[in-house]
Homo-oligomer: A and B are copies of this chain.
Amino acid sequence: MAKKTGKDTTEEKIMIAARKVFLSKGYAASRTRDIAEEAGINLALLNYYFKSKEKLFDIIMLENLKHYAGGIMHVVNDEATTIDRKIELIVDQYITNLIAMPDLPIFVLSELRNHPQKFIKIVQGDKKLSDSVFVKQYLQLVKNKKAVKMHPMHLFANIIGLSVFPFVTAPVLKGIGNVTQEQFLDLMAERKKMIPKWISMMIYNK
């Protein structure tokens, strides 16, 4: 008889259910019973495997934070790629990920509000963006009069914001903009090419 591994495990069934429930409702509105039911397991097993709702949540949150922030850090700090290419890669990766997980940003951002202390360590674990290769490259361009001078935070806010914001506000955009889900996804795919051009205009002023 085959040994249970991977997704057959009770533990993994709980994780999958927890991802779904926490992601869609947030910590406070999620009930351990919701997760147990979604996983098709007895409620007590949740505590048996994960001790508490909070511990389970922390695991899921850490996973998601890595997923949300981790993917781009190596791009940001790669010495070999130009700043223009970095922007293309970051935007592409964000939008591709978000099409697959559209409710990730609201989840992360709203939990970040509710438990800021929980994220400080994790966020601070990453190298500060202010001394990343990306910023170094940008400041070099400014020095050489190739780029418009602005605080690098504007750059990050714009790159991430233009990529992420439409997903955060998707229901509104669809509602007031007369856009179907399918059209929405097409528009998001379009943005993969448009955003780098827009950012280029901002940086190079042309």
Contacts and interface: CB of A to CB of B under 8 A. Distances in A.
A24 to B, nearest CB: 8
A29 B129 CA distance: 32
Contact of A198 (B26, B112, B151, B158): B158
Majority-rule SS of A interface residues: helix
Interface residues on A, range: 35 or more
B26 A187 contact: no
A202 B158 CA distance: 13
Copies in the complex: 2
A176 B26 contact: no
Contact of A172 (B112, B150, B158, B190): B112
Nearest to A158: B162
A185 interface: no
Contacts of A173: 153, 156-157
A171 B206 contact: no
A4 interface: no
A154 B194 contact: yes
Contact of A168 (B126, B154, B168, B191): B168
A144 B166 CA distance: 28
Nearest to A191: B154
A169 B109 CA distance: 7
Q: Which 3 residue pairs of A and B lie closest in terms of their CB atoms, listed nearest first?
A: A161-B165, A110-B110, A28-B29
18 contacts: A26-B28, A26-B110, A26-B113, A26-B114, A28-B28, A109-B110, A110-B110, A119-B175, A123-B176, A124-B175, A129-B177, A129-B178, A130-B177, A157-B165, A157-B166, A161-B162, A198-B198, A201-B201
Interface of A: 24-29, 103, 106, 109-110, 112-114, 116, 119-120, 123-124, 126, 128-130, 150-154, 156-158, 160-162, 164-166, 168-169, 171-173, 175-179, 187, 190-191, 194, 198, 201-202, 205-206
